[in-house]
Structure formats: C-alpha cells, structure tokens
Amino acid sequence: MITAAADGSALGNPGPAGWAWYVDDDCWAAGGWPRATNNQGELQAVLELFRATAHLDDELLVLCDSQYVINTVTKWMAGWKRKGWKKADGKPVLNLELIQELDAAIVGRRYRFEWVRGHVGHELNEAADERARAAATAYQQKKPVPSGPGWTKGVATDASPAGSPNAHVETSASVPVETGVDATSAHDDRSPADATLFDFEDPTADWLTLSVELTTDEHTRLVERAREAGVSPRSSCAG
C-alpha cells in the first residue's frame, strides 16, 4: 500500500494558491496558480497524486484534511455524474473540470481516503501543507515554485525533477473562483521521432520480443499513452 498526504493552500481564497502531495522527503510534488481557491488546491493535490501513481498496481491510501474532497470522491461525484454534473438543487457543480479529471483518474484504481485533522502535528499532513503553502507563497512573491522531485519510487536514480513522472504541473492562467482549473497534463508535444516510439511491428514475425531501456521521459509518455488507450501500462507493454 502507498500512503501519501495531499493538501492545498490559498493565500486569500481566492488568491495565490498551491497544491502538494507527499510520501516522504524524497518523493513529493507541488505546484499551483497565481489565483485559485483552497478547494481547487485540495482537489488538484489528490488528482496529481493519482496521476503520479497511475503506473502502479498498489492500493493508495490518501490522507486528506479536506472533507470536501473526500465527500466529493466517495459520496457526491457518482450522483452528480448521473444528474449530468448537476447538484441536487439543479445548480452546476463547482470546480467541474477538476472533478471530471479526478473522476477519470480513479477508474480502475484501488484506493481509500482517511480524514486527518489539519494543523495538529500529523507528520505527513504537515509536510504536504508546508509544500502547498510554499508553492502558493512562491506565486504570491513571483518566485520559482519548489515543485519537488515528483514520483521517485522505482525511478532511475539519474532522473531529474523535470523528467520525473508527474513533475511540476501548473496552469498557464488565473483560475476563476470555484469554476474549475485548466490543468495541463494532456498536451502531446512529442517530436515526430518521439511520436513513433513503440509504434513498430514486424508483419513477417509470429512473435516479437524486445527489451527496451527507457528514460524517465519515455516511461512517462508510455504511461500517458496507455492511459489514453484505456489500458494499464503493463497491458500496453504486453500487447
């Protein structure tokens, strides 16, 4: 089981905002926006945690101090979806884009949430909160955002933060209050050579065995392609 804390922070709510997930000092990530809400930061933190662990089969235990996020995923989201993403009163669901992305990210995953009270000294929660607030503060002060190493468990030791799966993710524009986030994660900016990576076949062979040593960037692209195809990375490699 993977145990990780996820937290968000907003200075002004709305205001400069940050998100972070944290496993340990060697495995964490953070990001944010010039203007967003605390709830958006909380949602983004959980979303990025699921994205960072998409290539794993382990159960994910998410420690979260936001009952809004926990209830969104475990109680409300299915009903909103059935109602065309409307609440019980018929009003649109707030933060819809983020929630829809989270709805897609949890498909096929084994996970559970555990609520922890914030700001009472819980080690993992405090570490996530500290990093989320640092990201928000960086946006407030217009300084580089401490984005963290990303997911490092099982990743090659020479992987840099920029090349790690789910390295720093942020939006390119301010986020209107409680209307969602244009999270950038699905852009395909591969070169033509990269686009053909793994697109090979030998029509004369009954079976092809290939051993490939991947860079972290190539692994990340493979995971993204598997997710887009609706299969696990393991299945996409086997097929």
Angstrom distance (rounded) from CA 112 to CA 2: 11
Phi then psi dihedrals of residue 162, to 5 deg: -70, -25
Of the candidates 26, 89, 119, 199, the residue annotated as catalytic is 119
The answer to whether 15 and 129 are in contact (CB under 8 A) is no
Tokens of 26: 């060697």
Of the candidates 31, 32, 42, 48, the residue annotated as catalytic is 42
- 65 catalytic? Reply is yes
Of the candidates 41, 55, 65, 150, the residue annotated as catalytic is 65
Of the candidates 32, 41, 55, 129, the residue annotated as catalytic is 129
- 122 catalytic? Reply is no
Q: Quick one: 103 exposed, middle or buried, by C-beta within 10 A (0-12, 13-18, 19+)? A: middle
**Beta strand 60-64 with 2-10: parallel, antiparallel or unpaired?**
parallel
- 119 catalytic? Reply is yes
- 24 catalytic? Reply is no
Of the candidates 8, 18, 150, 180, the residue annotated as catalytic is 8
Angstrom distance (rounded) from CA 163 to CA 217: 5
- 182 catalytic? Reply is no
Cis amide bond preceding 161, omega within 30? no
Q: Where are the alpha helices (DSSP H) in the chain?
A: 38-52, 67-71, 77-82, 96-105, 123-140, 192-195, 216-229, 233-238
- 8 catalytic? Reply is yes
Angstrom distance (rounded) from CA 85 to CA 135: 30
Tell me the catalytic residues: 7-8, 42, 65, 119, 129
